[in-house]
């Protein structure tokens, strides 16, 4: 068994394809467990039971956006790193995400190497 404790990454995106793409990339990092949520409300439920080490969230989702999720998480949790996923054409989303309390952002289309580097850096891997 690995001496590395498992870290849980919560991936929040309303697109099953994007969730799967992120999950495939994150599985390249040893010691990571991926949990997925379909929107911000689903993510808040998962956070209660999963206690993620890192949250990756899309900005534009139905029910509760990624920015609303960041703000909701930051009300009670200032430490867990959060990465917002924005569309390349909207730099304002990245700024709003960081202003809401996100630690970093990545743009779609998602670059696997950038995703892994961002996660590795924020989790200290």
Spatial CA neighbour of 17 closest among 110, 84, 119: 110
pLDDT band of 92, cuts 50, 70, 90: confident
Give me the pLDDT at residue 53, please: 98
Mean pLDDT of all residues in 49-73: 96
* pLDDT surpasses 70 at 62: yes
Positive or negative: CA dihedral 81, 84, 85, 90: negative
Spatial CA neighbour of 56 closest among 77, 34, 76: 34
Question: DSSP secondary structure string, 55-116?
Answer: EEEESS-SSS-HHHHHHHHHHH-SSS-EEEEEETT-HHHHHHHHHHT-SEEEEESPPHHHHH
What percent of the chain is predicted at pLDDT more than 90?
A: 87
Give me the pLDDT at residue 4, please: 53
* pLDDT surpasses 50 at 1: no
Domains along the chain with CATH numbers = 7-123 (3.40.50.2300)
13 C-beta neighbours (distance < 10 Å), count: 26
Indicate the average pLDDT of the chain: 93
């Amino acid at each position: 068994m690995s001496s590395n404790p498992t870290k849980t990454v919560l991936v929040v995106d309303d697109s099953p394809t994007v969730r799967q793409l992120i999950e495939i990339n994150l599985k390249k990092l040893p010691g990571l467990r991926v949990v997925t949520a379909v929107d911000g409300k689903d993510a808040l439920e998962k956070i209660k039971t999963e206690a993620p080490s890192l949250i990756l969230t899309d900005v534009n989702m139905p029910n509760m956006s990624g920015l609303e999720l960041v703000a909701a998480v930051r009300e009670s949790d200032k430490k867990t790193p959060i990465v917002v996923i924005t569309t390349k054409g909207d730099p304002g989303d990245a700024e709003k995400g960081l202003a809401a309390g996100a630690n970093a952002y990545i743009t779609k289309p998602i670059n696997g190497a950038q995703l892994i580097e961002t996660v590795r850096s924020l989790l200290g891997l």
